[in-house]
Amino acid sequence: FLLIMGYFAVPETQRQRVLIIGILGAIALRTVMIFAGTVLVSQFHWLLYVFGAFLLFTGWKMWFAAGQEPSLDDNPALKFIRRHLRITHEYNGNRLVAEKDGVRWFTPMFVVLILIAVTDVIFAVDSIPAIFAITTDPFVVLTSNVFAVLGLRAMFFLLAGMADRFHLLPYGLAVILGFIGAKMLLIDVFKIPVPVSLGVVAAILVVTMMLSLKLPPRGGHKA
């Protein structure tokens, strides 16, 4: 959300609205994906192995992409929108569509909301399988996702000012995805207790955040 809003220079007066719409869309999308995933996992146990392998692969990709500067220039969804739709460079309040000389144009606000929806689907594909490694109870999976997404509104502006300080956090998230993926692959061989799993995840987050504060970013200076 931060990257998308910054890239399109969303006005401060509009950020709260974009955030709320993004959160509501995220809850709706995740609800559908969670119930579909729960039904599939209950019918096809082997899907847990697919999810585990996917999380390992995602963690591996995230690790090697962690040191790169994020950019939307090569985003496939953005390229598609720019290629097929007329996009203005000016915001028009909350409007998603504006008319110029009788021609309909889409505003940057429309593009921002579409990209946020696409981004949340991508993140949901990572996060929902990870929760299935802990429980397949749809109520627990859904409520945990809903509270996490609702917490985003409260944490957004705090994280906006602190994101650069925790520059090593992507590496920690990559390790967490790898750990959860491995746990899912070993689910029928060795079951790691839930408290142990949560402790490992918390420890990884704490360590990477502390290291971020101790070590300056590569090519930068310590604050």
pLDDT in tens, 125-177: 767 777 777 777 778 888 877 877 777 666 665 665 566 677 788 888 889 88
Whole-model pTM over 0.75: no
> Average pLDDT of the chain?
79
All residues at 6 or more sequence positions from 136 whose CB lies less than 8 Å from its CB, including other chains: 38, 41, 42
pLDDT of the residue at 207 = 92
What residue has token string 């579409």? 114
Mean pLDDT in residue range 93-102: 80
Of 185, 167, 170, 204, the C-alpha closest to 130 is 185
Calculate what percentage of the chain has a pLDDT beyond 90.
2
The DSSP code for 163 is G
In a domain, 185, yes or no: yes
User: Per the domain annotation, does 124 fall within a domain?
Assistant: yes
**Is 219 within a domain?**
no
30 within 8 A of 124, measured Cβ to Cβ: yes
For residue 221, tell me if it sits in a domain.
no
- DSSP character string of 113-138: HHHHHHHHHHHHHHHHHHHHTT---H
Please name which of 52, 108, 119, 45 lies closest in space to residue 81, comparing C-alpha atoms.
108
Task: Report the half-sphere exposure of 199 (CA within 13 A, side-chain side).
Answer: 5
Instruction: Name the token pair of 109.
Output: 């606000």
Query: In terms of pLDDT, which residue wins out, 122 or 79?
Result: 79
21: containing domain: 2-214
Q: Note the pLDDT of residue 90.
A: 82
Q: Which helix (H) or strand (E) holds 98?
A: strand 97-100
Which pLDDT value is given to residue 203?
A: 93
Is the residue at 41 inside a domain?
yes
Distance from C-alpha of 16 to C-alpha of 153, rounded to nearest angstrom:
8
Residue 205 lies in a domain: yes
Please check whether residue 223 lies inside any domain of the structure: no
In a 3-state reduction of DSSP, which class is residue 57?
Answer: helix
- The owner of tokens 């995840």 is 201
State both tokens at 195.
């408290």
- 123 is a domain residue: yes
Portion of the chain with pLDDT greater than 70, in percent: 86
Q: Poorest-confidence range of 101-110, 143-152, 214-223?
A: 214-223
Q: How far apart are CA 42 and CA 132, in angstroms?
A: 11
Count of structural domains within the chain:
1
Cα 133 to chain centroid, rounded: 18
33-46 average pLDDT score:
81
Element housing 177 (H / E): helix 169-185
